[in-house]
C-alpha cells in the first residue's frame, strides 16, 4: 500500500499524468459519440468539450490524476505506475459523471 507521502509525490508523475490525459481524451470521444438519450448527456458533453480544449497539465487532468490516486490507494507505488491502460481508463470512465456534474 502506498503511503500518503508516496501518493502525494505521484501527483507530479509525468508518465501517469500523460496516461490520465489520454484516458480523458478517449472518454471525451466516447461522450461525443454516445446517444443523446444518455442520462446527463448535456452536462457530459460540456465536460467533454472542456477536456478537449484543456491545455496539457490543466486542472481537469491533475484533478483526475488525484482521483485516480485516491482510487488506487491500496496499491503499491510500483503497482500504480505499472497499472494498465485499461485500469486507468476504467477508473477515469467511472469518474466522468462525478466530474461532469460538479460532484
The DSSP string of 10-66 is HTT-HHHHHHHHHHHHHHHHHHHHS-TTSTTHHHHHHHHHHHHHPPTT-HHHHHHHH
For the chain, 103 residues long, give each residue's pLDDT as a single digit of tens. 999 999 999 999 999 999 999 999 999 999 999 999 999 999 999 999 999 999 888 899 999 999 999 999 999 999 999 999 999 999 999 999 899 987 5
Q: What is the pTM of this model?
A: 0.92
According to DSSP, residue 84 is labeled: -
Amino acid at each position: 500500500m502506498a503511503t500518503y507521502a508516496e501518493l502525494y509525490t505521484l501527483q507530479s508523475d509525468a508518465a501517469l499524468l500523460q496516461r490520465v490525459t489520454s484516458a480523458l481524451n478517449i472518454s471525451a470521444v466516447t461522450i461525443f459519440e454516445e446517444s443523446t438519450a444518455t442520462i446527463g448527456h448535456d452536462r457530459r458533453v460540456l465536460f467533454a468539450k472542456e477536456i478537449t480544449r484543456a491545455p496539457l497539465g490543466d486542472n481537469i487532468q491533475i484533478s483526475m490524476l488525484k482521483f485516480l490516486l485516491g482510487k488506487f490507494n491500496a496499491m503499491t507505488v510500483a503497482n500504480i505506475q505499472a497499472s494498465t491502460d485499461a485500469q486507468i481508463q476504467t477508473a477515469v470512465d467511472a469518474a466522468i459523471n462525478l466530474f461532469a456534474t460538479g460532484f
